[in-house]
């Protein structure tokens, strides 16, 4: 049974109400609920955490090292400048999939570069709340040895 950490970064607690024209109206609780259902269907278990603080995100990545087989991580705005989070992702032994609901490459220029992506297994973006589902399915297939 795969154990997957789902890590939500800054401002994602406001998902569903913050800029719904960009991020949609699905709440973070609804995203997490759907991920739990998809994980159960696939024989996996997930643990979800959201924080607006980089240190909490780093601590969580470290704390689950002996539990997690993989991670789905939406670093939010930290994507573009947090070398500390990049180093935390690089330091763990399990694969991490970076996820975004919007398509950063189609937005403001400062969002075009991810400092996290180079140390991730993959990046899924632009499918709204479904980006998380796609990231989970891809990660589980990768853990099963399928591509």
Active site members: 23, 100
User: 131 in the Ramachandran plot: left (φ > 0), alpha (ψ -120 to 50) or beta?
Assistant: alpha
**70 within 8 A of 7, measured Cβ to Cβ:** no
């Amino acid at each position: 049974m795969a154990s997957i950490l789902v890590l939500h970064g800054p401002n994602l607690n406001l998902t569903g109400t913050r800029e719904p024209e960009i991020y949609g109206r699905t709440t973070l609780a609804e995203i997490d609920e759907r991920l739990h259902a998809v994980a159960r269907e696939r024989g996996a278990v997930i643990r979800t955490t959201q924080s607006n603080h980089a240190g909490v995100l780093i601590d969580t990545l470290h704390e689950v090292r002996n539990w997690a087989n993989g991670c789905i991580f939406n670093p939010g705005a930290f994507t573009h400048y947090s070398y500390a989070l990049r180093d935390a992702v690089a330091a763990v032994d399990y694969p991490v999939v970076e996820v975004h609901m919007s398509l950063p490459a189609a937005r403001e220029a400062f969002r075009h570069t991810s400092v996290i992506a180079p140390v991730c297994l993959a990046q899924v973006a632009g499918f709204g709340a479904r980006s998380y589902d796609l990231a989970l399915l891809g990660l589980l297939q990768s853990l099963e040895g399928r591509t």
